[in-house]
C-alpha cells in the first residue's frame, strides 16, 4: 500500500510535468511562428505553474461547486456519516468532508489535494438505490482514491486539460490572424518552414493527447480503487453488488461534465457502450474501464 501511494505521488508529479511541457511547447511554437520570440514561452510557463498550483490548492472546492454538491447534514444522513467514519478508522485516514448531490442517478466521487483536505460526494440516487452493504462498498471505493492519493492528480488534470485546450485554441486564433504574414511559416526561399508545420500539428493534437493521458490514468486508478475498497470492507460481494446495480442503471448523471467525468465511480456521461465500427476508438476516450471487467476482476479475487 505504501509503495502504491509513493507510485501515485510520482505519477502525479509526472502528469503535471507532461502537461506543463505541452503547455510551454505550444507557447514556444507560437512565439517562434509569429515572431514573438521567447516572450510567449515565458508567459506559457508562468501560466502553467500558476494553474498547477491553483488547481492543486482549490481542487476540492472547484469540483464540489461544479457538481452542485452541498454538505450532508449529520442528522439527516446519519447512516452515510457512520459508514464514512467506520471506514476511515479501518483505513487510518482522516474523515473527509461529506457532501450530497441532488441527482437521481446513482454515483459518487472523491476530490481534494490530500487525505487531510479531501471530500466525498454521493448522489441522492445512490442513497436511495443502494442497501447498506452496497453503499459501504461505494464509499470504500471513494475513500481508497483518497488513501491512494488519486484525488490530487485527478483534480489537477481537470484544470490542466482545460488549460492545454484553451492554449491551443488561442494559438490557432493567433496563427490564423497573423497567418504567417509577419511569421516565419515560410523560409527565405519561400518554402514552407518545417517548424511551422510541426507547430500547427502540435497545437491541433495537444488537447487530444492531454485528454487521452487523463483518461488512461483514470482507468487504471479505478481498478486499483476497487481492490482497495475490498481491502477496507473485507467483503468484495458488497462492491460487486453495487457495481452490478450501476451496470443495470441507465440514468445519466446530470451533475457531471466532461471535465469531471473521470472522478466519478462510474462513467457518468451518456454514449458509452458503443460497439459500432468506431467502438474501439470511442473506448480510448472512456474515463472508466467497462463495469463488466471491473466486476469480473473482483469476482476473481
Q: Residue written as cell 498550483?
A: 53
Q: How far, in Å, CA of 46 to CA of 232, rounded?
A: 41
Contact 132, 83 (CB under 8 A): yes
Instruction: Provide the β-strand partners of residue 192.
Output: 186
Q: Residue written as cell 504574414?
A: 181
- In the chain, DSSP finds a helix count (H) and a strand count (E) of 11, 4
Phi, psi (5° rounding) for residue 67? Answer: -90, 0
How many other C-beta atoms can be found within 10 angstroms of the C-beta atom of residue 161? 21
List of residues 6+ apart from 256 with CB closer than 8 A: 67, 107, 264, 268, 269
List of residues 6+ apart from 165 with CB closer than 8 A: 207, 210
From the centroid of its chain, how far is CA 82?
28
Contact 153, 112 (CB under 8 A): no
Q: How far, in Å, CA of 14 to CA of 16, rounded?
A: 5
Q: How far, in Å, CA of 255 to CA of 67, rounded?
A: 5
For residue 74, the SS3 value is coil
So which residues are the catalytic ones?
Answer: 142
Contact 241, 137 (CB under 8 A): yes
Q: Residue written as cell 454515483?
A: 107
Amino acid at each position: 500500500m505504501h509503495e502504491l501511494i509513493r507510485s501515485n505521488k510520482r505519477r502525479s508529479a509526472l502528469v503535471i510535468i507532461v502537461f506543463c511541457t505541452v503547455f510551454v511547447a505550444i507557447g514556444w511554437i507560437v512565439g517562434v511562428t509569429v515572431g514573438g520570440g521567447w516572450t510567449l514561452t515565458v508567459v506559457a510557463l508562468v501560466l502553467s505553474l500558476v494553474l498547477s498550483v491553483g488547481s492543486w490548492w482549490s481542487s476540492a472546492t472547484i469540483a464540489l461547486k461544479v457538481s452542485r454538491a452541498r454538505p450532508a447534514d449529520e442528522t439527516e444522513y446519519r447512516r452515510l456519516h457512520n459508514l464514512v467514519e467506520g471506514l476511515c478508522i479501518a483505513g487510518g485516514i482522516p474523515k473527509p468532508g461529506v457532501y450530497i448531490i441532488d441527482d437521481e442517478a446513482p454515483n459518487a466521487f472523491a476530490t481534494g489535494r490530500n487525505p487531510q483536505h479531501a471530500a466525498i460526494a454521493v448522489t441522492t440516487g445512490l442513497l436511495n438505490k443502494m442497501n447498506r452493504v452496497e453503499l459501504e462498498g461505494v464509499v470504500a471505493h471513494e475513500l481508497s482514491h483518497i488513501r491512494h492519493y488519486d484525488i490530487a492528480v485527478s483534480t489537477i488534470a481537470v484544470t490542466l486539460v482545460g488549460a492545454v485546450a484553451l492554449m491551443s485554441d488561442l494559438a490557432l486564433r493567433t496563427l490564423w490572424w497573423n497567418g504567417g504574414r509577419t511569421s516565419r511559416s515560410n523560409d527565405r526561399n519561400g518554402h514552407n518552414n518545417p517548424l511551422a508545420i510541426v507547430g500547427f500539428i502540435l497545437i491541433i493534437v495537444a488537447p487530444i493527447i492531454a485528454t487521452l493521458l487523463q483518461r488512461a490514468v483514470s482507468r487504471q486508478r479505478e481498478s486499483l480503487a476497487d481492490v482497495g475498497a475490498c481491502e477496507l470492507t473485507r467483503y468484495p460481494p458488497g462492491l460487486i453488488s453495487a457495481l452490478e446495480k450501476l451496470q443495470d442503471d441507465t440514468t445519466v448523471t446530470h451533475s457531471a461534465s466532461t471535465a469531471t467525468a473521470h472522478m466519478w465511480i462510474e462513467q457518468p456521461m451518456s454514449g458509452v457502450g458503443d460497439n459500432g465500427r468506431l467502438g474501439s476508438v470511442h473506448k480510448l476516450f472512456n474515463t472508466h474501464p467497462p463495469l463488466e471487467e471491473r466486476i469480473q476482476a473482483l469476482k476473481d479475487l
